[in-house]
Structure 1
């Protein structure tokens, strides 16, 4: 009978919908090259977190208080950002809602990239570039001063499997995942995508500034 099939159909639909459901508070981030994280950020600093406390940051649309973690930080160096030092960094209270935890006590140094909130404040999420300073390669540290900025007009495209191809001359293919099955591979640690004098972009490896011959070459 047609009516007998209805409960089974409803049960199947319920399983299908539950299988597609995602937790409302889950945090998901797409991997990006460190240079992309640098270029996307308003502020990039080297700093230590001194202390942390939970603070109210207004109310949501239902009138409930919005909680954030406020980190007091000691800035060591600014690579990108406003003229004044960053004194406070804000983030969500847990990783489930993309909060980025920092160790406090002032012993661990971080590279921190995020969004400016003005008046010596910035906001970070789990999707921003936050790494311990000691975990960075020498090339990554050197690239923060100028190299990454030289390629902010370039496009870095993630290659998931070989073969993959560039779609324009101002594009660099990021193949760490396709070649090494990790996102922090050779290109992430040792390469920057640099814009050259003809408008094309190409990967550059090395700690020394790119030579004029590299910048003037016509073929990407």
Structure 2
């Protein structure tokens, strides 16, 4: 069942201290990301350059700078759910086209998850893997890119896969997004991991998901 917080047209709010500075009207969700149109209010202009710098850093793959912008945004701003209750944790991007995307949790990230991100390359098949791992080393999300060209082969979420299984549409899900590795990273052999920042993983994830969704729309099964 869809969360009421993700209902199309529901409004999340961005605050600086006690002042509301933007309204985010939900237009869709591609979990763990929520997407919205942005209505800026007086007071937002102070933070516009910070969001623009975050976008520039992500576009140019300056991950340390992107993470620094995230820290500044989280230190200065808060969000509320459509019912007015506070959002404990979020990673928010506001784009220059008047749209926004964010991932969120109802508890602080550092109290509920010790999430890690890594990538590795499988020479035999020329596939680059990107993984998001939970605190026990199990894969939460997985991206597979065929090289050369970084063609998206998979961008699967364990939570989505489990939901598709419950709803009897597992084959449909796997045909579009693939699936995640079952074994924890501690049992993997013959890989050389490179650890990533959250922003680097999220950029790869978002790009791969769009590519797979566009491909499905052009060539539905």
In terms of fraction of residues, the more helix-rich structure is: 2
Give the TM-score taking structure 1 as reference length: 0.30
Give the TM-score taking structure 2 as reference length: 0.30
Whichever of the two has the greater Rg, that structure is 1
